[in-house]
Amino acid sequence: MTTPGKANRASLLELECRGFCPPLHCGVLCLAVLLFPAMAFGDQLTTAEIVKLSITNTLADWNANSHFSYVEQDVDVKDGATTSRTYRVLMLDGSPYSCLLAVNDEPLPPQQAAEERGKVQQEIARRASESAESREKRLGDYRKERSRSFALIDEMGEAFDFKLLREAKLDGHNVFVISATPRPSYQPKSWKTSVMKGMKGTLWIDQQSYQWVKAEAVAFRPVRLGWLIAKVLPGTHFLLEQTPVAPGLWLPKHFSLEARTNILFWQKNYAHSESYRDYRRITGQPSPQANERTAGAPISLRLAKLNDSPAIHKNFPPSNVYQ
């Protein structure tokens, strides 16, 4: 299917140069995608190509997340009770550390807040003195966590058939609204991605930047998770919302999961959401190099220039504080 919009030669060249690795405190996920042959410049983009571009761009920007601190609020609903915890997430020597700021929307008492800041200083000292073996294990665990977290996005292009539904406006952005339905021939690479065989979704993709403004998916049939005795049940719902936080850079602002599962004979329902705000560029870090942001694919021209842009310093005053 062909979309109604055209991309000019310059913008397509920039998009073709964009590679990715994953954010949101989660994966080093690498996927080299060859999107267009040289003869395609100026041609209309198909729906599949728009989706590929959006995945590439989204994960490239998520990888830049490691050069920012941000405030994250986690909200959990279980057995009718709602709890929330708010953190300042810091990147300390290559992996994140969460400094507790508030519980159930109440700031910590002054003494506890001082204790949390002391824990940050202790962690900085601990990581500065850890052995090479310990550091590599810590960073390796972080990379594995990120990779697991974004395995679903890695396989999206294989798991779904995409159809352009309409053009619309969302949060001030002109978007393509694209549906995703399971591809019958899809074979999951792991039990973690098998859930996509029973899900359908919708993508709202910004027409200018080819970034996800919103992504939503819902389970419409039960899916057994590999050989495990667990099932994801219909009604399970995922939602991701993103926003531009600097020129050429989009990062998540909200993620939510409403899960309905069955383990043996017990059904378990729960809800979890994460909100992100106050992104700040971290001082004392070198500007991200291409080999830190991608493997096996060239990096976006815009992303490569991100940390040299005056706008990023204007939007995010350099800070190492946890507040």
Dihedral sign from CA coordinates of 28, 138, 97, 303? negative
Angle value at C-alpha 256, between 123 and 93, nearest 5 degrees? 20
Find the range with the poorest average confidence among 167-176, 264-273, 296-305.
296-305
Other CB atoms closer than 10 Å to residue 220's CB: what's the count?
14
Q: 216 pLDDT exceeds 80?
A: yes
Identify the top-confidence range among 61-65, 134-138, 260-264, 301-305. 134-138
Find the range with the poorest average confidence among 46-55, 87-96, 121-130, 308-317.
308-317
Q: Please report how many Cα atoms fall inside a 13 Å half-sphere around the Cα of residue 317, on the Cβ side.
A: 2
Dihedral sign from CA coordinates of 113, 93, 294, 17? positive
Q: Locate tokens 């964009």: which residue?
A: 18
Classify 197 as helix, strand or coil.
helix
Which pLDDT value is given to residue 284?
60
Q: 158 pLDDT exceeds 50?
A: yes
Helices then strands, counting H and E runs in the chain, come out as 8, 15
**At residue 288, what are phi and psi to the nearest 5 degrees?**
-60, 130
**Both tokens assigned to 312:** 């990023």
pLDDT above 90 coverage of the chain, percent: 46
Which pLDDT value is given to residue 192?
77
In whole angstroms, what is the distance from residue 129 CA to residue 31 CA? 34
